[in-house]
Amino acid sequence: MQKGFTIWFTGMSGAGKSTISAIIEQRLRKAGAPVEVLDGDEVRTHLSKGLGFSKEDRDENIRRIGWVAELLVRHGVVAVVAAISPYRAVREEVRAKIGRFVEVYVECPLEVLAGRDVKGLYKKALAGEVRQFTGVSDPYEPPTYPEVVVNSSLETPEESATKIWATLKGLGLI
């Protein structure tokens, strides 16, 4: 692993992006790769503090994450991004800028997400109490051609990570 690249996990809230990306991070570290994780929730607290949830603010948030990922990749680091990133066009924009980019779609049906939602956000969103909630009152646009699709309602996080790892090997990235 001499060149950096980005692994971009996208999917709805609660799909398992952070859980699976943590497994991939550990595997990469064990293989000796320099790795940085950019988790959507943490980025919103620091880099994107003050942004709301309008389409424009969500796009700006993803552009900021993409900019940091691009810098990391340029310096030989593997950037692992776990962010909802609901809009296809801005994900494609970031992909084009970074270049070495592996998109992982963490798929999970809404019913399963609502069932595992410990914070009760899906319940509130489905009742109309939370506005601009991705996948309920705001759109989520699944990737058209992701390098990897995992389904967290059918696979364990470890099984999903193994599938992603095999793709990274197949692409010659590890």
Q: How many CA atoms lie within 13 A of 152 on its CB side?
A: 27
CB distance 35 to 28 below 8 Å: yes
**How far from 154 is each of 27, 134, 138, CA to CA, in Å?**
22, 22, 25
Closest by CA to 77, choosing from 117, 111, 123, 38, is 38
Residues involved in catalysis: 85
CB distance 4 to 72 below 8 Å: yes
Q: How many CA atoms lie within 13 A of 115 on its CB side?
A: 7
- Which of helix, strand or coil describes residue 165? helix
Q: How many CA atoms lie within 13 A of 33 on its CB side?
A: 26
